[in-house]
Amino acid sequence: MLYLILSILISSSLFVIFKLFDVFKINTLQAIVTNYLVAFTIGFSLSESSVEIQQIPSQPWFLGAVLLGFLFISVFNVMALTAQKNGLSVASVSGKMSVVIPIIFGVFAYNESLNFVKVLGVLLALIAVYLTSMKEVKLTNQKSYLLYPILLFLGSGIIDTSIKYVETTFVPNGEVPIFSASIFLIAFCIGLCIVLYAVLIKKETFEFKNIIGGIVLGIPNYFSIAFLLKALKTKGLESSTLFTINNVSIVLLTTLFGLIIFKEKLLTKNWIGIVTAIVSIIIVALA
């Protein structure tokens, strides 16, 4: 249970860090790129796999890692923008509701069961994303406020689905840590190319504080995943129960952080959306 609590606290802190990037005017992309180098360094140093760095491109899971590396850096940027523009509660709910995408994929790809309760959970999740994303803005701007939560919802779901598919199809049990570290490394390489283009061609400023921000983000980013994996090995705690507690707690904690730390204001429809999100996660997990 300790590992689950640590994972919840650390995962919730990621949204707060993204919000603080906006407060301290830290370049989000530069910080995210640095974050992936930090996460890779930690993951590779803790890995006990016999696979060397130069052998990574020859592994059967390499193409999957490349795809995931691209998705990681893209979705992480969307997560940051959602937290900054729409608020912590919107970002957390949009990300956590994406659990419905791998469920739908599992029905068609792995012949998993589909029943009324599961369909109800999926529909409630979609409604929750919409309700929590609504803000008191002019009608002409409402679409732009919905864009980031929708992209985060889809991107997070595709990542979860892709990780499950690649790991179960191509990754041996002993190579999971090096596979995860490789995703971080590829995300770093892709992001570095973008940053170099921005700095050298577009003359964008590269500041030391962005590196500090990346380090601050990279350490909890790695351990949020590591502690969750450790929590999944807890005896007597089923994965459906664990994910329900994990997702609901992160939604509630990030909302609390937004209200207390950043004085975010939620509309009645936002509160309804948050409650709907919690109900949908529980329904989907139990289904």
Q: Tell me the mean pLDDT in the region 71-96.
A: 88
Q: Tell me the mean pLDDT in the region 62-78.
A: 93
Domain count, the chain: 1
| pTM recorded for the entire structure | 0.82
Percent of the chain clearing pLDDT 90 (strictly above): 34
- Using a 10 angstrom Cβ sphere, with 0-12 exposed, 13-18 middle and 19 or more buried, the burial of residue 67 is middle
The pLDDT assigned to 139 comes to 44
Alpha helices in 86-141 (DSSP H): 88-96, 100-109, 116-133
Q: Which residues contact 56 (CB under 8 A, 6 or more apart)?
A: 62, 65, 178, 182, 185
Terminal alpha carbon distance of the chain: 23
Residue with token string 């309760």: 117
Give the separation between CA 48 and CA 174, rounded to whole angstroms: 8
Which is more confident, 120 or 132? 120
Give the separation between CA 70 and CA 194, rounded to whole angstroms: 12
